[in-house]
Amino acid sequence: MQTTNQKNNFQAILNSTPLVLVDFYTEWCGPCKMMKPILEELHQEMGSKVRILKVDVDRNQQVAHTLGIRGVPTLILYKQGEIVWRQSGVVPVSSLRQLIHQHSAN
């Protein structure tokens, strides 16, 4: 998993990687802390099928504002730089796994 703090770096990653799951979070958010082990498990299982990127909305307010992030955690799946799925709240690893398989097959 990777954390990013720069808008240009963020966009470059989205455009250069086939599937990117972005976790918009804050350090103080309880549900965000619940997502951490879920994303770590997903990372272990999926390997190179998906790149997982964590974006702290307190440190990256411009990116969060541009994407309309109103609540955390918010997860967005990008495929070749385009949003293909978005959801706020804690998402189980089984749902994320199915989502990755669905979009990596297309």
| 81 is annotated as an active-site residue | no
Contact 60, 11 (CB under 8 A): no
**Identity (one letter) of the amino acid at 17?**
T
| 29 is annotated as an active-site residue | yes
Hey, how many other C-beta atoms are within 10 angstroms of the C-beta on 21? 24
Catalytic residue among 17, 18, 26, 29: 29
Q: How many helices (H) and strands (E) does the chain have?
A: 4, 5
The whole-angstrom separation of Cα 87 and Cα 73 is 9
Catalytic residue among 14, 19, 22, 32: 32
* Residues involved in catalysis: 29, 32
